[in-house]
Chain A
Amino acid sequence: MKPELMKRMVKGPDGVEFEVEPMRDYYCDAPPTVQHGAYIKIVEDFFNWARSQSLWILGFGTGCGAIEMRPLMTPRFDAYRYGIQWRPTPRQANLLVISGYLSVKTLKRAIRAYEQMQNPKYVVGLGSCTINGGMYWDSYNTIKCLDQYLPVDLYITGCMPRPEALLAGFEDLKKLIRAGQAEGANQYAERFDWYKANQKQVIHDWDMPDYNW
């Protein structure tokens, strides 16, 4: 474990000493819970409609697919007219786009980013390499099957997918959300132990808390 993650005494600039235990102090230690729908269907439908109209993507380019995000942000393809925009921090985002292959090292960061996002949240896997490894099917450092580690709501195929494909994919995601089928975050809460076991199987130096929020 890295020294800055260890429990230690810290002396502040004002001379006061205090104890810091980064693995516990900054994180909640309760597992995620399932978010139940509203008590009446028409209200839940309204919520889902509202959710589908504001997809805020976390601007985390995990792989080469991130290069097609740039045209999407600009006037030619302009995803903003569909209510899609990019946010710099997981706290403001509700859609994590895994843009391509995930190396084990990035998977760890992607999990943290995902867990820091607020509910309701969605995951889109982009490119063949998130589906079955794609070009990197025999690589020792990329995961082959994203839905083992994160609850994927939608995959967009291609190597790499064109901006039009991404727009169509986001429209499909909206349909899923409106139909109440994009329940990835709840699946993650329900099968939390299974996901954690899978994650720990590939991430060998697990130096982060189980709950990153």
Chain B
Amino acid sequence: MDMRALYDRLKALYPLGELTEQRANLAFVTLPAEYLRPALLHLRDLEGYRHLVLLTAVDWLEDGLFQLTYLLCNRSRNCDIGLRVMLPREGATMASSHDIWPTAAVYQRELREMFGIDFPDSPGVDEEFILEGWNDIPPYRRDFDTLKYANDSFAQRAGRETRDPETHMKQQLYPDRD
């Protein structure tokens, strides 16, 4: 009920999507990208959600969307709210929030490198973070095939057998079923 009350207060200010109550103290809500920064500041300064737990992305390749998740924690009441922002996959760009939390700059560097989502003005966002000399599409995107890349790039030792469980089960256990 706590999260519902918070949702109602936010709803009066921003055009929010449906509230997903995962647990009593964890809820997710979608909002448009342009309202994200005001909502983050509102939650941080007025609602006590002062801790940025994580900032990450999910690649919904079928819908052509990136989902950014900003998970904020209110440490005195022990509840978390996840703000979802959907971005178009093509040329995904998001306003930086490094001035709200200094740690956001690190997350944004990672997202830039691993998903190719740009955060203009975030400090050091274009520097290499984890990878070095990467020459393919950002690896956490769904259309990046890690097995193919590994086979193409690295010498493999002969004699290793690998069975994909799904195909193996289908071939060996019940070839007649779908």
Q: CB atoms of A and B under 8 A apart anywhere in the complex?
A: yes
User: Which positions in A face B, CB cutoff 8 Å?
Assistant: 104-105, 108, 131-133, 137-145, 148, 198, 201-206
A145 touches B133 (CB 8 A): no
- Given contacts A104-B133, A205-B133, is CB(A144)–CB(B156) below 8 Å? yes
- Of residues 89 through 131 on chain B, the ones whose CB sits less than 8 Å from some CB of chain A are 131
A142 and B159 CA atoms in complex are apart in Å by 19
Q: What are 17 A-B pairs at a CB distance below 8 A?
A: A104-B131, A131-B157, A132-B159, A132-B160, A137-B150, A138-B146, A138-B147, A140-B136, A140-B139, A140-B153, A141-B131, A144-B154, A144-B156, A145-B155, A145-B156, A202-B153, A203-B133
**Interface status of B135 (Cβ within 8 A of chain A):** yes
**Interface status of B162 (Cβ within 8 A of chain A):** yes
- Given contacts A104-B132, A108-B132, A204-B133, is CB(A140)–CB(B150) below 8 Å? yes
**Interface status of B174 (Cβ within 8 A of chain A):** no
B156 touches A132 (CB 8 A): yes
User: Smallest Cβ distance from B139 to chain A, in angstroms?
Assistant: 6
**Interface status of B149 (Cβ within 8 A of chain A):** yes
User: Smallest Cβ distance from A208 to chain B, in angstroms?
Assistant: 12
User: Which positions in B face A, CB cutoff 8 Å?
Assistant: 131-136, 139, 144, 146-147, 149-150, 153-157, 159-160, 162
Identify the closest chain B residue to A143 (Cβ): B154
B133 touches A138 (CB 8 A): no
A133 touches B156 (CB 8 A): yes
Most buried by B among A140, A201, A206: A140
User: Smallest Cβ distance from A175 to chain B, in angstroms?
Assistant: 24
User: Smallest Cβ distance from B40 to chain A, in angstroms?
Assistant: 32
6 further A-B contacts with Cβ under 8 Å, apart from A132-B157, A133-B154, are A104-B133, A132-B160, A133-B150, A144-B155, A145-B157, A203-B133
B157 touches A204 (CB 8 A): no
Q: A108 to chain B: which residues have CB within 8 Å?
A: 132
